[in-house]
Amino acid sequence: MRTPIFAANWKMNHGPSQARAFMAAFLSAYSPRKDRSVVLFPPAISLTTVRDALGGRHDIVLGVQNIYKEDKGAFTGETSAPMAVDAGAKVALVGHSERRHVFGETDEQCAKKCAAAFRAGLTPMLCVGETLAQRESGDTESVVLRQLAAVVTTLAADQVARLVIAYEPVWAIGTGRNATPDDAAQVHAAIRRWFSSQSGAANDVPVLYGGSVNTKNAASLLAAPGVDGLLVGGASLDAEAWTAICRT
């Protein structure tokens, strides 16, 4: 049994002042638990604010929403993996659908970002998922497995064992629509079959579901076979709602 992971992606929300207020409310309401892990992905400008607010709360892990493929250099506006580590991050989101579809991030770039994360000691949380058009054309599994293979086949076995996957159907992100527990279970099963065929690590790699998760559907999605946790966007911006989801 894998320990459930609850991950909050704040996207471009909660600057330092709002992050400080959120953390005060969340930490006062959420007590440490050994039966789950909590990861917070604030925007880069709020990383150190959240780090400082956490203090001794080692049950909550800090993550960074994006990293660049290079460790340093003349790349204005980018955040390197070593810089994220220095700011307190332990996890990095890679290949979120908004990075892929808004900023044009490719599978190859995702692979390079995962490599950069591992070089710096970060755990990559690799996001995979299909668009509505791809889903309706019956290409969900082929798209997801292509995105997965583009990264995993470039990694060493010990790196694969440290990877976290998040399945996030693009058509369900921020739309109010979400995959049913059965939908999620089917794709998660396909991911596990692929891992088993490639590396035998099917039971080792956590696979989270993300896409319009909220307080009403969190429990049913988490109960779906093969779902090891939740990657939450909009509902994680409210401390009360996020606390309720983390208690699911």
Q: Active-site positions?
A: 96, 168
Alpha-helix runs per DSSP H in the chain: 16-29, 47-54, 81-86, 97-101, 107-120, 132-136, 140-152, 157-160, 181-198, 218-222, 239-246
In contact, 169 and 130? CB cutoff 8 Å: yes
**CA-CA distance, 64 to 9, in Å (whole number)?**
9
**CA-CA distance, 188 to 224, in Å (whole number)?**
9
**Site of tokens 């917070």:** 40
The first and second tokens of residue 62, run together, are 């800090």
**CA-CA distance, 79 to 42, in Å (whole number)?**
13
